[in-house]
Each structure stands twice: as structure tokens, then as C-alpha cells.
């Protein structure tokens, strides 16, 4: 769809409500008496959240034989949070270039354009395929390097991830009996993974509270607790960010839950960064440390079915840094820890700190290709020192971080490679293994066996 055509459609919608839902020939039936609407479906992938589907309420019966993916055109306009910019825009400013030099293509790619349709089918209200009905589901292209369906934008000014308001226009010449098919009204968003979580805020003092996401087993049995601490880009006041900006929703998935026979999952959100030290960034301290432990204890006390002998803590990058601080400063509290691409420099760990860290079974995860927090300055040296103390320490050390689904490739057809810092992908996908007592054991299998 050209931009001029889109503008004509939007103007037409404003001028005449009939375009909001199309028309039905009077020779066939009366016109539909309510506008068509759509809901988005936002799913979380290895790279983060993307809008994978549109579920359209047509308001008239449609047969599967009447539609296919060539029937429709889908265009999106992605509206950023106030004051935010895209990474591409930041690069333009940094290079001193203007739109006149780069053209409009970059901003179009980031913020608006025609979305590739993968599949179309008649469905029920939840997107399940049926032969005929009043709903149509459109599967959209999602991929780590496909921006138009990304549900978030990383703002290089604030260094935070932020949700994007994605506004879709779905058009077709004819769908079943409906001509001039145009849908623009969004009425909701389904989040199949994130909606398993509860969102709330826990206050620990007049000065500090933590938004959080929590997954909680429904039975009255004792279960362990997994605490996950987010990366640098997920701070703020939107507790769904820490589980959707990367795939932390996976802790509620059966693939991980089954190791524990069900587990509580507690994901607190820092207002800024866990690495915010008292003197400078990542100085071996955190202004949040004491408050966070108070928040953890408050959550545990509020849920008597948490097994206090099986509390595990992990986190990625900024959250891996805080994981190391919590283990260092609270020896014996946690049954195990799993810091991932962690940011506590080994040079900041003295011998007393090391002995405290060694009191908690710990499994490190990193990738050699990490240029954000090079492992040689962080986990590699710390693991060596802990092994000399004969600590219960394990290490999943990957060469690089690549797509293992087989679905995504680079432009040259080779396997898609993520930034080397993103070793958390291997945690969520249960790819971390080490040799324990002569046999290969997976991270969560090992964790489930750790008790205080």
C-alpha cells in the first residue's frame, strides 16, 4: 500500500464511518451494524516481544475458502513513547547525517510500512483455526531483524526498552460478502506467555518500592522460588518489561517448571539500574541491595508455600551483577545462584568476598563473544578462583550466541547470530550444561537438586 493510499483511507474513515467496517451488498443482506475490530497477539521470542498475530472480528460469517494471505494488506505505524528515538535515528545524529543524506527509508523501516503476512485463516475469538466463523486471524512475520512487528523500542537516550503503540490498518477489496474492507480499531492485546504472570508493587519503605511480575503455582503444596533480576534496559515502572524485553516469561513455561514440580517466579524491577552504585556505576555496590533483600523477604513471607530451603537467584548482565552482590552479602540465604553475563568485575572481589560467594552453589553463564562485559574480566577469572576454593561452581561458556531454532538466518544464508552479550538466550532455552559427577547435567536439573 502506498502512503498516499493509506492517507486517503484514513481520511475516508474520519469522513465516513461506513469505511470503518466495509459494506455488504443490499441484494445479499443488510449492512453490518457495527465496526470491525482487531486484537493483537504479542509473543516473546529469543530477541524479545513481537506482535505475531491480528485477530479480526468481522461481524459476518466468512468461510476459509473465501480468503488467503493475498486477500489482505496490513500496514503498521509504530508510535514511540514521548521523547524516545530509534537506534537508527541515534546513529544518524551521531554521524551528523540528515534524512536528506540517508533518505526516509531508515525511519520508514523502523516506524511504518507494509507488514509481511505469513498466513491467514478463519478462527474463533482466540485465534484457533476453524472452517467458518466471524473472526479472521492474520499471522505476521516476526524475526530478530524484522522491526515492523517489534513490540518494543530500545531508546538510546534513556537506555531503556519501551513498549511501542503499534497502530494497524488492515484492508482488502472484498472479504466474503464485505466490500471495501478496512479495519482500524484495536480493542485489546493478548499476551499468551506474559498473561500467566501477576503484576504488582511491593513496598519496603517510604522511599522505595519495587514493581514486580510473579508466577505462582495454584496448588497448596510447597514449591521453590526462582528470583530473576533483569538487564539494564528493563528498569522503570512497567513490571511486564523485565519478562518481555527478553524471554524471562520462559520461567513459567513447563520446560522449566517441570524440573521443580512447579516453582514460584519473582521478577522485581529496579527503578533505574541494579548496577547503580553508591559512588559510581558498577563500583561493587548497589543503592538497591538492602532494599531488594527486604523486598525478597517480604514476598517470601507473603507466600507461606514457598520452600525457604529452595530459593534460587539469577539475573542477566545488570541483573547478574546484582545476583553476585546478593550472594556475596547474604551467604547461606540462597540455595543456588545462576549469574548470566554478569557485571561484577573480578578485580572488585577480594578474598573475603570470594569466600562468601563460595558458600552458595553457583552456575555461571557467558559467551566468549561478549564485548559488552568481556568474560575475561568477569566470570572467567571468578570461576577459576572459586574452583581453587573447591566451591560448588559450574560454568556454561559458549563461543557465541546463535539462533538454534533453524528459522532465522543472515542475509548470506548463514545461521543468525545474536550479540555475544545475549547469553541469557541459552538460559531460557535450557541449553546450559556442565559435567557433574562424571555426567552431563543441565542447569535447571542441577538447580532443582540444590537445597540449603
How many helices (H) and strands (E) in the chain? 12, 24
Spell out the residues 6+ positions from residue 262 whose beta carbon is closer than 8 angstroms to its own. Answer: 217, 219, 221, 223
Task: Give the pLDDT confidence score for residue 34 in this predicted structure.
Answer: 57
Please name the residue that has the C-alpha cell 535447571.
444
Cell numbers placing 397 = 561458556
**Among residues 143, 144, 126, which one has the least CA distance to residue 135?**
126
Residue labelled with grid coordinates 568485575 = 345
Contacts of 368 (CB under 8 A, 6+ apart): 375, 397, 398, 399, 400, 420
Q: What is the pLDDT of residues 125-181, one digit of tens each?
A: 999 999 999 999 999 999 999 999 999 998 888 889 999 999 999 999 999 899 989
pLDDT of 96 reads 52
The pTM of this model reads 0.90
The better pLDDT of the pair 296, 82 is held by 296
- pLDDT of 202 reads 94
Pairing label, strands 73-79, 48-63: unpaired
Q: How far apart are CA 142 and CA 52, in angstroms?
A: 6
Grid coordinates belonging to 349: 572481589
DSSP string, 113-164: EEPPEEEEEEE-TTS-B-SEEEEEEEEEP--TT--TTBSEEEETTTTEEEE-
User: Could you tell me if 163 and 154 are in contact, meaning their C-beta atoms sit under 8 angstroms apart?
Assistant: no
How far apart are the C-alpha atoms of 184 and 19, rounded to whole Å?
A: 10
Spatial neighbors of 452 by CB under 8 A, at least 6 apart, are 308, 309, 310, 311, 332, 334, 335
Q: What is the pLDDT of residues 165-191, one digit of tens each?
A: 999 999 999 998 999 899 999 999 999
CA atoms lying within 13 Å on the CB side of residue 56:
27
- Provide the pLDDT for residue 416: 96
CATH of 3-190, one of 2.60.40.2180, 3.40.1160.10, 3.30.70.20, 3.40.190.10: 2.60.40.2180
Per-residue pLDDT at 13 exceeds 60: no
Residues 6+ apart with CB under 8 A from 146: 50, 116
Range of weakest confidence among 100-114, 128-142, 337-351:
100-114
Distance between CA atoms of residues 370 and 350, nearest Å: 24
Give, as one character, the DSSP assignment of residue 343.
-
Is pLDDT at 6 greater than 60 in this prediction?
Answer: no
Quickly list DSSP for 67-80: --GGG-EEEEEEEP
- Where residue 207 falls among pLDDT bands split at 50, 70, 90? confident
What is the second-level CATH architecture of the domain 194-448? 3-Layer(aba) Sandwich (3.40)
Please report the DSSP string for 251-278 in residue order: GGSHHHHHHHTS-EEEEE--SS-TT--S
**Over 90: is that where the pLDDT of 49 sits?**
yes
Q: Residue 10: pLDDT above 80?
A: no
List the grid coordinates of 322.
546484582
pLDDT band for position 104 (cuts 50, 70, 90): very low
pLDDT band of 86, cuts 50, 70, 90: confident
**In 3D, which of 349, 355, 322, 350 has the Cα closest to residue 337?**
322
Domain map (residue ranges) of the chain: 3-190, 194-448
- Which residues, other chains included, contact 279 with Cβ-Cβ below 8 Å and sequence gap of 6+? 285
Residue pair 157/165 in contact (Cβ under 8 Å)? The answer is no
Average pLDDT, the chain: 90
Altogether, the residues listed in the chain come to a count of 452
Average pLDDT over residues 423-438: 96
Amino acid at each position: 500500500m502506498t502512503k498516499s493510499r493509506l492517507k486517503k483511507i484514513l481520511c475516508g474513515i474520519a469522513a465516513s464511518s461506513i469505511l470503518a467496517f466495509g459494506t455488504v451488498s443490499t441484494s445479499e443482506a443488510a449492512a453490518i451494524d457495527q465496526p470491525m475490530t482487531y486484537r493483537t497477539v504479542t509473543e516473546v521470542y529469543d530477541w524479545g516481544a513481537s506482535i505475531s498475530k491480528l485477530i479480526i472480528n468481522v461481524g459476518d460469517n466468512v468461510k476459509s475458502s473465501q480468503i488467503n494471505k493475498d486477500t489482505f494488506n496490513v500496514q503498521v505505524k509504530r508510535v514511540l513513547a514521548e521523547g524516545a528515538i530509534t537506534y537508527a535515528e541515534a546513529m544518524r545524529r551521531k554521524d551528523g547525517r540528515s534524512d536528506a543524506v540517508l533518505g526516509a527509508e531508515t525511519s520508514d523501516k523502523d516506524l511504518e510500512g507494509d507488514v509481511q503476512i505469513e498466513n491467514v485463516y478463519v478462527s474463533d475469538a482466540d485465534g484457533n483455526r476453524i472452517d467458518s466463523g466471524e473472526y479472521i486471524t492474520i499471522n505476521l512475520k516476526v524475526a530478530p531483524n524484522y522491526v515492523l512487528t517489534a513490540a518494543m523500542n530500545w531508546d538510546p537516550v534513556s537506555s531503556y526498552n519501551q513498549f511501542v503503540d503499534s497502530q494497524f490498518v488492515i484492508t482488502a477489496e472484498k472479504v466474503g460478502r464485505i466490500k471495501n474492507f478496512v479495519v482500524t480499531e484495536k480493542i485489546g492485546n493478548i499476551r499468551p506467555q506474559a498473561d500467566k504472570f501477576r503484576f504488582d508493587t511491593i513496598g519496603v519503605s517510604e522511599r522505595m518500592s519495587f514493581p514486580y511480575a510473579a508466577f505462582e503455582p495454584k496448588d497448596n503444596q510447597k514449591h521453590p522460588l526462582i528470583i530473576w533480576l533483569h538487564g539494564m534496559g528493563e528498569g522503570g515502572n512497567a513490571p511486564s518489561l523485565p519478562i518481555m524485553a527478553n524471554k524471562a516469561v520462559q520461567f513459567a513455561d513447563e520446560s522449566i517448571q517441570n524440573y521443580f514440580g512447579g516453582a514460584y517466579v519473582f521478577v522485581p524491577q529496579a527503578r533505574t539500574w541494579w548496577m547503580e552504585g553508591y559512588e559510581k556505576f558498577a563500583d561493587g555496590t548497589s543503592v538497591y541491595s538492602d532494599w531488594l533483600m527486604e523486598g525478597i523477604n517480604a514476598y517470601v513471607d507473603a507466600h507461606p508455600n514457598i520452600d525457604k530451603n529452595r530459593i534460587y537467584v539469577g539475573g542477566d548482565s545488570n541483573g547478574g551483577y546484582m545476583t553476585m552482590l546478593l550472594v556475596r552479602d547474604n551467604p547461606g540465604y540462597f540455595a543456588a545462584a545462576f549469574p548470566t553475563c554478569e557485571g561484577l568485575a573480578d578485580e572488585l572481589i577480594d578474598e573475603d568476598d570470594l569466600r562468601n560467594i563460595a558458600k552458595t552453589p553457583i552456575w555461571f553463564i557467558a559467551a566468549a563473544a561478549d564485548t559488552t562485559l568481556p568474560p575475561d574480566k568477569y566470570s572467567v577469572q571468578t570461576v577459576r578462583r572459586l574452583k581453587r576454593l573447591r566451591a560448588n561452581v559450574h560454568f556454561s561458556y559458549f563461543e557465541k550466541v546463535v539462533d538454534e531454532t533453524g528459522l532465522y538466518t543472515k542475509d548470506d544464508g548463514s545461521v543468525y547470530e545474536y550479540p555475544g552479550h545475549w547469553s541469557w538466550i541459552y538460559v531460557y532455552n535450557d541449553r546450559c550444561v556442565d559435567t557433574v559427577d562424571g555426567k552431563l547435567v543441565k542447569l535447571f536439573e542441577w538447580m532443582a537438586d540444590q537445597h540449603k
